[in-house]
Homo-oligomer: A and B are copies of this chain.
Amino acid sequence: MDIAAVNLMSYEHFLDIFGNIIEKCPLITGAVWSKRPYSSIAELESCVCEFIDFLPSSGKEGILRCHPDLAGRELASGTLTEESQQEQSHAGLISLTSTEQDRMTLLNSQYKNKFGFPFVICAKMAYKTKIMSELSSRILNDPSQELQNGIEEVKKICHLRVQDIFFKNSKLPTKL
Contact = CB atoms under 8 A, between A and B. Distances in A.
Given A11-B117, A116-B34, A59 B65 contact: no
Q: Chain A interface: which size bin?
A: 20 to 34
Contact of A34 (B10, B26, B61): B61
Interface string A49-63: 001001111110111
A172 interface: no
A146 to B, nearest CB: 14
Number of copies: 2
- Interface centre among A24, A25, A62, by most chain B C-beta atoms within 10 angstroms, is A62
A31 B54 CA distance: 14
A90 B11 CA distance: 27
A114 interface: no
- Interface centre among A24, A27, A57, by most chain B C-beta atoms within 10 angstroms, is A27
Given A25-B26, A26-B66, 17 more contacts: A11-B112, A11-B116, A12-B65, A24-B27, A26-B62, A27-B28, A27-B59, A30-B62, A31-B61, A31-B62, A32-B58, A33-B61, A33-B62, A33-B116, A35-B58, A51-B58, A51-B59
